[in-house]
Amino acid sequence: MQFPNASLSASEFSGAVPLFPLPSVSLFPNVMLPLHVFEPRYRTMVEDVLKSHRTIAMAVLQDGWEPTYDSNRCPVHKMVCLGQIVADERLDDGRYFLLVQGLCRAELDHEIQTDRPYRVGHIRVRKDVYPAPAIIDRDHRQQELVHYFKQIFDDLDLDSSLIAALESGVPLGELCDVIAHAMRPDAESAKRLLEQADVDQRSDLVLELLKLQYRRSRGPLPRFFPPTFSLN
């Protein structure tokens, strides 16, 4: 494995970046995503970015991508996730195993014509938005999200220090992204979560997905105390 000497923060980036569009794999900020890169065009992309800023933008393909997948003309959703390659391994046959760290949301302004076999886009970084005043009780929402996450993933060995960090040690926006990543949402749900820069509304979407997954796997929702109260 090769590791970079320094990390690029989202605030230091603006402009052109290679696009890595996939139909069913999405990257969220604040998480690590392992990738297996085997297509020739994306092997070239990895070779190029490893020589420079080590950043790519993970994009989600729109429905109906199959007929044009090989042509670099597949429509992609505008909201992407800027990520940095933090570990890489090149295999003897030219394939790569990568570990990509999600940095932040970004919006694709337009694509840039180049002589490279992969796509390049010009993107703008999008920061999390915390409305003032809040439309939810954020402390309570943190507890709700962790509660349902623990119920669904009760086979995970979550020690007390990790639970404490999830409950109160990270901003709500980061917590939403970490939980969303763990749930492996479908392409449409991933699109909705990536598009939502408003953290309060994003937490609504994550809670909705958690409850839906619980009902599908476990049945009626467990009682949560204290109950949710409106701020109005």
Instruction: Report CA-CA distances (Å) from 14 to 5, 10, 11, 28, 214.
Output: 20, 8, 8, 18, 39
The ranges assigned to domains in the chain are 10-126, 138-218
Query: What is the distance between the alpha carbons of residues 225 and 221, in angstroms, rounded to a whole number?
Result: 12
Identify the bridge partners of residue 18 per DSSP, sorted by sequence position.
120
Exposure string (b/e) for 193-216, b if CB count within 10 Å is 16 or more? Answer: bbbbbebbebbbbbbebbeebbee
**Would you say residue 95 has pLDDT above 60?**
yes
Mean pLDDT in residue range 105-111: 94
Which residues lie below 8 Å from residue 18, measured CB to CB, with a gap of 6+?
45, 48, 49, 56, 57, 116, 118, 119, 120, 121
Considering the domain 10-126, what is its CATH architecture? Roll (2.30)
Lowest mean pLDDT among 25-39, 56-70, 158-172: 158-172
> Residues near 223 by Cβ (< 8 Å), separated by ≥ 6?
none
List phi, psi (to 5°) of 185: -65, 155
What is the pLDDT at residue 90? 95
Instruction: Give the pLDDT of residue 163.
Output: 60
Q: What is d(CA 181, CA 127) in angstroms, rounded to the nearest whole number?
A: 18
Q: Is the model more confident about 105 or about 23? A: 105
Average the pLDDT over each of 66-70, 75-79, 104-108, 189-193 and give the range with the smallest value: 66-70
